[in-house]
Structure 1
């Protein structure tokens, strides 16, 4: 961990730059880019308490921040632009499906994520 610098504090929930996700994926990619190996351990479980029924009023804003981190991650690590666009298309299809099922708040959150992802990709140098 020392040679890759640990977690990038400009990514994740505490990011002051608004890149509110991607810290774990960024660390994994940097470890691999440094030539190290990783091991999958199915006994390790991470739980996140994320409301799905009564969404907080700022949920779409939160998802936009997650999208910004996602977009930055793709650009920062030179990941496939085609894959990036495919994942956003999948999210867009999900947004349409949620709208059709009457889940307008979740559909709006998906659209916010997409906007955030495009912005994160665009602004990262």
Structure 2
């Protein structure tokens, strides 16, 4: 029997001092709600967001290196609307191989991390 029943959060790394860029991209452009970090962790820097029932943590990494292969895939309700918003902000969209039952594309966050957006087809 498995004790696992879900994912609490996903963490992406970012370089020191990049919190405002994270707030702009994940908060203002993507519309995720910023949530407070616990006070004992706030001193590390970074910023946290609510994403549906899960959280996205942007953590500061001293010797930062962008994640190019491992990546989060966010489920969205309207991929076409999101694409319009991203293009309006001059964010490049990367199409990929079709995935049965879903439409999807990738972007890079302001730090070069790969992010997938996915909309399920009925």
TM-score for the superposition, normalised by structure 2 = 0.30
More helix by share: 1
Hey, which of these two has a bigger chunk of strand by percent? Answer: 2
Task: Give the TM-score normalised by structure 1.
Answer: 0.29
